Amino acid sequence: MRLVIARCRVDYVGRLTAHLPFARRLLLIKADGSVSIHADDRAYKPLNWMSPPCWLVEESTDDGGTLWLVTNKAGEELRITIDGIEHDSSHELGIDPGLVKDGVEAHLQELLAEHVETLGSGYTLVRREYMTAIGPVDLLCRNADGASVAVEIKRRGDIDGVEQLTRYLELLNRDPLLGPVSGVFAAQQIKPQAKTLASDRGIRCLVLDYEALRGTDSAEFRLF
């Protein structure tokens, strides 16, 4: 990655025209070929940019300045006229591992499967991702009495999630080896409308505290 702080003017010529007058800005040239121009505001959003694939050619101007001509395969041009460079450095960042999201449904499912007793005393796990004809139920468990319980897990529980669990329960209850199967709708947040619908259909709601489930918080789970 190349970082350049310079006084520059920027002209874009393509599907439309745009102009940035001379000012001090950050010019960012990434390894993928992209070029972006940033001011000291607007958070992460650049003032103008050219996405890859594009090509940068540096030329000298008649007045002793520098012209960066950035062109993409569509023929669009980003003309960056530089009048004085204050900083110019290049850095090898390597391959980024990417963003790892914490607290997504897959993590909640894994943690709840490991701590299935959160559902109630005597609960045991039968299987994660128990397949039905319309998709997998997140957890299939048995309660202290040995009865089957289907658990649907969401980060934010809404009516659609309750409807989804309802459809699973209808199919699971047709299996004489499993039925009767009750349901638990588990989520970090559950909307009031979803709680009302779940209660009407005999589905128990469980609000999950992700930090507590990870063992980093002593707060108890709240049952509704």
Using N-to-C axis directions, what is the helix angle for 159-172 and 192-200, rounded to 10°?
A: 20
- 189 close to 223: Cβ distance less than 8 angstroms: no
Q: What is the CA angle 33-83-2, rounded to 5?
A: 25
**In whole angstroms, what is the distance from residue 51 CA to residue 9 CA?**
19
- Tell me which residue of 20, 74, 69 sits closest to 52, measured CA to CA: 74
Could you write out the DSSP letters of every residue in 105-134?
A: HHHHHHHHHHTGGGG-TT-EEEEEEEEETT
Q: What is the pLDDT of residue 221?
A: 47
Beta bridge partners of 55: 71
| 117-144: average pLDDT | 93
What residue segments make up the domains of the chain, in order of their start?
2-90, 105-223
Q: How far is CA 15 from CA 54, 71, 72, 78, in A?
A: 16, 13, 12, 12
Return d(Cα 117, Cα 149) in angstroms, integer.
13
Confidence of residue 75 (pLDDT cuts 50, 70, 90): very high
pLDDT at position 219 over 50 = no
At 88-97, the pLDDT tens digits run 999 998 887 7
CATH code, 2-90: 2.70.180.20
How many residues are there in the chain?
224
The confidence score (pLDDT) of residue 8 equals 96
Could you tell me the CA-to-CA distances from 191 to 19, 71, 113, 138, 204 in Å, in that order? 48, 50, 23, 20, 14
- Res 103 pLDDT > 70: no
Residue 59 to residues 65, 68, 70, 82, 179, Cα–Cα distance (Å): 9, 6, 11, 10, 76
Q: Is the peptide bond before 97 cis (omega within 30 degrees of 0)?
A: no
What tens digit of pLDDT does each residue of 5-25 get?
999 999 999 888 899 999 999
Top CATH class of 105-223 equals alpha beta
pLDDT at 145: 94
d(CA 63, CA 155) in angstroms, rounded, equals: 60
Question: Quick one: which H or E segment has residue 159?
Answer: helix 159-172
Per the CB < 8 A criterion, the answer to whether 77 and 57 are in contact is: no
- Show the tokens assigned to 96: 């980024």
